[in-house]
Structure 1
């Protein structure tokens, strides 16, 4: 962990904040390192049931800090895989998708370039009405390479994504929701994200993790159908599943074991 990213943990929910507000949380080498370390910590955190990802200050993330990253790619083998399917640059976005629990991004101000890709790694994205977003890489003569295309597949219509990638134009929250970059819009995205995280944290944690595994599965119908059956078989009559049933029948809050 570096000073660029902070984690607080309470009631099974981790709040992760990009903490470089003087630079709109722009991505420099320390921010990359901090995000990779945060994802690794969260993957091993006992009792974790949901994550809220946000940025301090006036925006979520303005993308690459081009001055600090100038020449930073020289000599780096971008094809090398350092984190399963991903390289270091991709891990800061793809890593949220691979965490075993749901991640909710609260987006305000700007989410440009790499910042938009990081938010796209979340399961759910809640944006402020005046948020501004952009697939900005072509402005700098490069392409999105932080897992964006993999994360946007299935949520953003292909021709819309092509237009935005080719032009690097900015768009607002309403367009972002229509395009599929944003799940919903809220006046206070941080509060909405926390409220959602608390709802998730109150559900059977075993079932939540199983649901995320199924949602992440990229396969044909036969494999997905079999995976559903296997996940359900593990859940049925398990202690947390029984507790969910009993809590509903007795009209009380459940007491799940992590």
Structure 2
């Protein structure tokens, strides 16, 4: 578990990592320490052998209001607003060193070998929305406010949002949202495909789904996560075939089938050596 004062806190119970942005007095705005904490958290989760699913949320009144205002003040003054890598080595915390630190902070979560569920309430703006976009599933409160306001500051989204948003809402809606800096509430987010589901209590719904995922064959869940991330249709089909070979007949798959036949809860084993090579 991370230290209580960390910008990101996380605990794990039953394979469920409960990850919370922890700067509530600033609506979890992204500053240098938050970027470092996101990178470090993803690295810690990647090394956790019992990890089965991640729930990502924000403490306080919102998910994440985006980049800290001090960064925008730097923009107005012509200073570099981008977080530096001086205190974090890319090789140590993972991620492609060719990416910016913000891109690595966002993409560290979908690059985990398990599903990531975002629970969004209040503001999810700029970098905050881009972090939510990277999740596999998004439960959003009806009163949440989502948007990419970067154009209003004279810049473009630079934390993978230009690539992630069009895949959810289509290139035309993404272009309109980014160019106008328009914000949408949770209800409209669901209508345009930005939210998986609108719920009054996103964190409770995310945890309920996480418990369902954690009760599945962890080998199959990890294989599915890899398959869903395939960059092309042909590579996805190849990933399906590889997943079937890896999972079928392995101890956890046999346990899942036996438990289903016997109408009991399965008892899975996590760690190396369970799936077939």
| Range class of TM-score, shorter chain | over 0.9
1:110 equivalent to 2:123? Answer yes
Aligned residue in 2 for 1:203: 216
- Structure 2 match to 1:247: 259
Residues 189-246 of structure 1: CA distance to partner in whole angstroms, max 9, x if unpaired? 000000000000000000001001010000242x322221121011111000000000
Q: Does 1:192 align with 2:205?
A: yes
Counterpart position of 1:215: 228
Aligned to 1:164: 177
Q: Give the drift of 1:152.
A: 2.3
Deviation at 1:64, TM superposition (A): 0.4
Mapped partners of 2:25, 2:254: distance in 1: 49
Residue 38 (structure 2) pairs with residue 35 (structure 1):
yes
Structure 2 partner of 1:140: 153
C-alpha distance in structure 2 between counterparts of 1:74 and 1:244, whole Å? 47
Conserved? CA contact 1:96–1:122, under 8 Å: yes
Change in Cα spacing, 1:4 to 1:74, as seen in structure 2 (3 Å) is closer
Partners of 1:150 and 1:161 lie apart in 2 by 9
Please state whether the residue corresponding to 1:155 is helix, strand or coil: helix
Residue 234 of structure 1 corresponds to 246
Please state if 1:155 is matched with 2:153.
no
CA contact (8 A) 1:29 1:68 kept: no
Paired residue secondary structure (1:154): helix
Residues 74 and 106 (structure 1 numbering): CA distance in 2 closer, same or farther, change over 3 Å? closer
Aligned residue for 1:98, secondary structure, equals coil
Written as runs of structure 1 = structure 2, the 5 A alignment for 1:177-188 is 177-188=190-201
RMSD between aligned residues: 1.8
Distance 1:217 1:153 in 2: 17
The number of aligned residues is 254
Q: CA deviation at 1:94?
A: 1.2
Offset at residue 74 of structure 1 (A):
6.7
Contact 1:97 1:122 in 2 (8 A): yes
Post-superposition, which runs of at least 4 consecutive aligned residues in structure 1 deviate over 4 A?
74-77
Task: Give the Å deviation of 1:75.
Answer: 10
Q: TM-score, normalised by structure 2?
A: 0.87
Per-residue deviation, residues 162-193 of structure 1 (Å, max 9, x unmatched)? 00100101111111112222110111000000
Q: Which residue of 2 aligns with 1:17?
A: 20
Give distance in 1, aligned partners of 2:267 and 2:82: 52
Write out aligned runs for 1:74-113 (5 A): 82=90, 83-84=95-96, 86-113=99-126
Pick aligned residue for 2:70 from 67, 70, 73? 67
TM-score, scaled relative to structure 1: 0.93
Match of 2:132 in 1: 119
Q: Secondary structure at the match of 2:138?
A: strand
